[in-house]
Amino acid sequence: MFLAVSLSSCQQEESNTKSFTVKNNLNLDRTSETVSIPAAKVAQLVQEFGAENLLLRDAATDSLLVIQPIDNDLDGAIDEILFQTDIKGNAEKEFTITGAKDGAAQQPESEFTTYSRFVPERTDDYTWENERVAFRTYGPVAQKMVEENTAGGTLTSGMDAWFKRVPYSIINDWYKKNEAEAGYYHIDHGEGYDPYHVGSSRGIGGIGVWENDTLYTSKNFTGYTTIAEGPIRTLFELRYAPWQANGRTINETKRISLDMGSNLTRFESALQSSGPVPNYTIGITLHEKEGDVKANKQDGWFRYWEPIDDSFLGTGIVLSPARVYDSKDHRVEAKDHSHLYVITKPDTDTLTYYAGFGWEKSGQFKSQQDWDAYLADFAKRLASPLEVKF
């Protein structure tokens, strides 16, 4: 009787399990690498148990891994299931995914998380973070304040940076403390701070159209949709009012995501123009022009390394080299107009790139060489995604 029950349980478990492999084709060790399982590959398990009750295991250790189901288009159906793994260079790992009626109760908990939200209590920022970095950008109220000459506004579609040196979430705490003590998050109280100036610049990764020595850009975002947040990824969308680029009208929506373990945010800009444009250009502000620019057009990474207070900051852009037309170290006297520009070919209506930063005082990077190595490795990983086979 005991043996018969055991056999039946094993057979049932096997029927509820799918195996797959993940292969790293680079001679490069990869850590905290996000793997996406298309929901279609495990549709039967999702239908029978629900995505929240799926259990993913490392086959070699039988250990349960943290997963995050994502509904990318908010239609009520899961589109992909994310997890992260470390994998050695030129290595292959096997995983299993199983359905269980009490799977949600068995899920391992992640100590830290990604997070993003709209912040109406601080004008109308949209802010996002993981355990390494935090960013924000600005909404229509901040724009209106500038246009009406009201103090405290910001007019830019550039991207701001908050420097973290703790892995836990700081967004809500910093905003709350800033309400009680104006300027709180501009002072480092041990967790990091916000010394980064965006002004009317592109900040870290804002875009525009470069033509006749002028960068034409959108203004602040006008609407947002939060799509996901969790232990692997935060994902949201920002919408912009139609903007002018030397006589052309451009419509833009940004889909923005940040994964755990990454210093770079992924930007996917959907762009429609009323007429042909010469380029779409990504910018990084050069602030007081005291730093050093490096451009690697062949591999698709670009960076600026600058002093900031008593430390140094590396900012960077990574994208497919096939999209790169040119880059420009543009330094002028006008405030907020000096940038490292990455000029891209307008081959499609979507521009996808990564932009972010590494702060020396965070302990994540010890030197300019460390930051360069990070961007170079990121570009290699982007060019050679992990191969998933069922």
**Domain end residue (candidates: 81, 109, 137):** 109
Q: Taking residues 21-35, what's their average pLDDT?
A: 97
**Domain end residue (candidates: 59, 83, 109):** 109
> Which tokens sit at 364?
């994540």
Q: What is the share, in percent, of the chain residues with pLDDT greater than 70?
A: 96
245 and 225 belong to one structural domain: yes
Structural domain count, the chain: 2
183 and 73 belong to one structural domain: no
**Domain end residue (candidates: 78, 109, 140):** 109
Residue 389 lies in a domain: no
Residue 313 lies in a domain: yes
191 and 257 belong to one structural domain: yes
Between vectors from CA 100 to CA 390 and to CA 261, what angle results, nearest 5°? Answer: 60
Task: Render pLDDT for 167-218 as a digit per residue (tens, 0 to 9).
Answer: 999 999 999 999 999 999 999 999 999 999 999 999 999 999 999 999 999 9
Residue 145 lies in a domain: yes
Residue 244 lies in a domain: yes
228 and 363 belong to one structural domain: yes
66 and 169 belong to one structural domain: no
Say if CB 318 and CB 383 are below 8 A apart: no
217 and 329 belong to one structural domain: yes
217 and 331 belong to one structural domain: yes
Q: At 92, which CATH number?
A: 2.60.40.1180
Bridge pairing between strands 280-285 and 264-273: unpaired
Residue 96 has pLDDT above 50, yes or no: yes
Q: How far apart are CA 92 and CA 220, in angstroms?
A: 45
Domain range for 288: 115-383
The CB density around residue 53, as the number of other CB atoms within 10 Å, is 19
Q: How far apart are CA 102 and CA 52, in angstroms?
A: 9
Task: Render pLDDT for 266-285 as a digit per residue (tens, 0 to 9).
Answer: 999 999 999 999 999 999 99
8-state DSSP, 270: E
Say if CB 273 and CB 359 are below 8 A apart: no
Q: How far apart are CA 212 and CA 325, in angstroms?
A: 16
Q: At 158, which CATH number?
A: 2.70.98
Mean pLDDT of the chain, nearest integer: 95
67 and 141 belong to one structural domain: no
Task: Render pLDDT for 119-164 as a digit per residue (tens, 0 to 9).
Answer: 999 999 999 999 999 999 999 999 999 999 999 999 999 999 999 9
With 0-12 / 13-18 / 19 or more C-beta atoms within 10 angstroms meaning exposed / middle / buried, residue 9 is exposed
210 and 301 belong to one structural domain: yes
Edge-to-edge strands of the sheet including 80-87? 30-38, 80-87, 67-70
pTM to 2 decimal places: 0.95
Q: What integer pLDDT is reported at residue 15 of this predicted model?
A: 61
